[in-house]
Amino acid sequence: MACKERNGTVYEAKSKSFQPSSLTATTWLSLREYRGVPFLHRCFHCYSAVCALVCPVDAHIVTDYGAVVIQQDRCIGCGRCAEVCCYGVPRQGLDRRYKKCDLCLDRIAQGKPPACVEACPVGALKFGKIEDIYKAAREEEAKGRCTYGIELTHWVYVYSDQEAFEAFLGDVARRKDAEKIKNILSFPTKRGAPPPVSYLGIEGAVIALSIAALVAWRQNRIREKKEGGHE
Ligand code: SF4
Ligand code: SF4
Ligand code: SF4
C-alpha cells in the first residue's frame, strides 16, 4: 500500500488486495510466503545490473546510490531488461514501457527511507549506512541465520529458513535462454557498459537495513573508488 501510494497507483490498491503476490507494472512490491515465512519480492538493485547493461537507449541506469532505475521518458519498451533479469522484475505497462521499483530514489535523495521501509509496522525493514548493513548481516550470520545479497545486490535478505528462501528464490527466478541473452548482450547500446551514472549527484550516504531484508546503496564505495582513482 505504501509503495503504491508513493508510486501513484492508490486506486488499484484500494480495489484489490493490499498484499499482492505477483509483480506487475503497477505493483512493484509483492509478498510471497513459503513455509509460513514471508518474503518481499521487488527489484534487488543488483551490483552488476545486467538490465542496465543491455538497455539500448540508456533508459535503464545505475545511479550513484546503487538504485537501478528505468527512466520512463526514455524507455522504448524493447523488453531487453526483462529478458535478462534473473529475478523476473521489470514488467511492461499499458504504455508499453517497462516499470519496476526504483528504490524510492526521490525519497532517499532527500534523506528519507523508502516508503516501504517507513511503513513497515514491525520494524522489519530498517535504514542505515552500508557498513552498518554488512555488519548487521554478518552478525546475524554469526548467530546462525542466513543471508543473501551481500556484495551482490542492494537488498540483502536475512532469514532463518534456508529452504523457504530457496523456494522463494526458485519461484521468482526466471529460467533464461542462454543463446537469447548472448544475442541481447552483443547488441550495441548507447554506452556499451553500465557506468555508475551520477543521476542526482547528491552527497551523503543513507543505506537501508532490514532484519528481513537489507538494502544498501553504494555511494560511499563509489566515492572512495573515485578518490582512490580507481573509477
Ligand atoms: S533485479 Fe533485475 S531489474 Fe533489478 S537490478 Fe537486478 S537485474 Fe536489474
Ligand atoms: S524495455 Fe528496453 S528501453 Fe525500456 S528500460 Fe528495458 S531495455 Fe531499456
Ligand atoms: S523502495 Fe519504494 S518503489 Fe521500491 S518497493 Fe519500496 S516503496 Fe516500492
pLDDT in tens, the chain (231 residues): 788 888 877 665 555 556 777 899 999 999 889 999 889 999 988 887 888 888 989 999 988 888 899 999 999 999 999 988 888 899 999 999 999 999 999 998 888 889 988 988 888 887 667 678 778 889 999 999 999 888 788 888 888 999 998 888 888 876 555 566 656 655 655 555 433 332 222 222 222 222 223 333 333 344 444 554 433
Q: Tell me, in angstroms, the distance from the centre of ligand 1 to residue 89's CA.
A: 6
Q: Is the CB of 82 under 6 A from ligand 1?
A: no
Q: Which atom of ligand 3 is nearest to the CA of 7?
A: 3
Question: What is the secondary structure of 149-170 as a DSSP string?
Answer: -TTTBSEEEEES-HHHHHHHHH
Q: Which residue's C-alpha comes closest to atom 7 of ligand 2?
A: 55
Which atom of ligand 2 is the closest one to the Cα of 58?
8
User: How long is the chain?
Assistant: 231
Residue 92 CA: which ligand 2 atom is closest? 1
SS3 140: helix
Q: Is 42 in the pocket of ligand 1 (CB under 6 A)?
A: no
- Cα 74 to its chain centre, rounded Å, is 20
Q: How far is the CA of 71 from the centre of ligand 2 (A)?
A: 9
User: What's the half-sphere exposure (Cβ side, CA atoms, 13 Å) at 33?
Assistant: 5
Residue 182: how many other CB atoms lie within 10 Å: 9
Task: State if pTM tops 0.85.
Answer: no
Determine the distance separating the centroid of ligand 1 and the alpha carbon of 85, expressed in angstroms.
5
H or E stretch covering 50: helix 50-54
Distance 75 CA to ligand 2 centre (A): 5
The upper half-sphere exposure of residue 54, i.e. CA atoms within 13 Å in the direction of its Cβ, equals: 20
Going from N- to C-terminal start, the domains of the chain cover 2-227
Q: What cell numbers appear for 133 in the block?
A: 548493513
Q: What kind of fold does domain 2-227 have according to CATH?
A: Alpha-Beta Plaits (3.30.70)
Q: How many Å lie between the centroid of ligand 3 and the Cα of residue 180?
A: 30
Question: Vertex 60, ends 58 and 66: CA angle to 5°?
Answer: 120
Number of other CB atoms surrounding residue 154 within 10 Å: 25
